[in-house]
């Protein structure tokens, strides 16, 4: 198949700008403990910052979703988004996160690849939100899960577009592995500041960047990378290698029938 399909969500200049700002701001919300070292009064506000971000991040996500929707999410794309979000929500409880086995991300990667970065970003948010409602996983962590998932879908849509065949499946499988570790790293950054002071590896307010970075890397390797993240990476790798070609064919057929154009 040599045809190149247009994105399901068209990004106008303003939409692209809003999305870029949101990505930068969202990454800053994840990384703030590593950026807050050594300043006057830093430690005085470290207990406030996580809770400020818990309020700010949902607003940021809603602004981006509203902008992308107004910029090019027509009825066909909306219907497709609803179907894929429902499928994602149904897939998530199958693994229940046991040993890092999560089937929700491989479909997100494939859909972001076929339907473009804007659709991938929106699907990342809606699929995690829908699955959280289904599994009872609603909590202060949900907006951060939604943003991390959205960045995974966005990145899949930004991969080189002219790779096809076996090379495309290999590219997506490699991206799925990296995306799994990125998601785990991001969520470790979310939880880490809330554990400040409980162990020797937790966030130390006001400490130099090098010290906190070392603490975090050891923390995430021991608590997430070697277990959950590796299980998630292997799940993505196997699922994309085995199911990727067939799922890509189905999604591209749906895209052609919906007649998405650039």
Give residue-wise pLDDT tens across range 123-153: 998 888 888 887 767 777 888 888 899 999 9
Angle between helices 104-115 and 75-95 (to 10 degrees): 160
At 150-184, the pLDDT tens digits run 999 999 999 998 888 899 999 999 999 999 999 99
Q: Please answer whether residues 9 and 119 qualify as being in contact, where contact means their C-beta atoms are separated by less than 8 angstroms.
A: yes
Confidence of residue 247 (pLDDT cuts 50, 70, 90): very high
- Coil, helix or strand for 252? helix
**DSSP category for residue 8:** S
pLDDT of residue 103: 83
Domains of the chain: 13-258 (1.10.1760.20)
pLDDT of residue 28: 82
> What does pLDDT average to over the chain?
80
Is the overall model pTM greater than 0.95, yes or no? Answer: no
Q: How far apart are CA 5 and CA 116, in angstroms?
A: 9
Per-residue pLDDT, 1? 40
Sequence-distant (≥ 6) Cβ neighbours of residue 56 within 8 angstroms: 29
């Amino acid at each position: 198949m040599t045809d190149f399909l247009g994105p399901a969500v068209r990004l106008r200049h303003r939409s692209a700008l809003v999305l870029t700002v949101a990505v930068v701001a969202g990454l800053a919300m994840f990384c703030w403990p590593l950026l807050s070292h050594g300043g006057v009064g830093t430690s005085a506000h470290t207990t406030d910052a996580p809770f400020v971000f818990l309020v700010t991040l949902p607003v940021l996500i809603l602004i981006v979703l509203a902008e992308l929707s107004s910029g090019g999410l027509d009825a066909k794309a909306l219907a497709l988004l609803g179907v894929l979000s429902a499928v994602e929500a149904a897939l998530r409880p199958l693994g229940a996160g046991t040993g890092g086995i999560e089937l929700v991300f491989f479909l997100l990667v494939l859909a972001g690849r076929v339907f473009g970065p804007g659709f991938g970003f929106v699907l990342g948010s809606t699929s995690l939100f829908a699955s959280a409602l289904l599994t009872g996983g609603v909590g202060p962590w949900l907006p951060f899960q939604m943003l991390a998932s959205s960045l995974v879908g966005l990145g899949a849509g930004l991969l080189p577009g002219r790779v096809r065949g076996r090379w495309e499946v290999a590219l997506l499988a490699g991206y799925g592995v990296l995306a799994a570790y990125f998601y785990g790293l991001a969520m470790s950054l979310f939880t880490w500041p809330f554990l400040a002071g409980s162990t020797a590896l937790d966030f130390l307010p006001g400490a130099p960047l090098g010290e906190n970075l070392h603490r975090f890397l050891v923390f995430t390797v021991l608590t997430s990378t070697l277990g959950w993240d590796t299980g998630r990476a292997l799940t993505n790798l196997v699922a994309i290698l085995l199911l990727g070609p067939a799922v890509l064919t189905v999604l591209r057929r749906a895209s052609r029938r919906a007649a998405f154009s650039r």
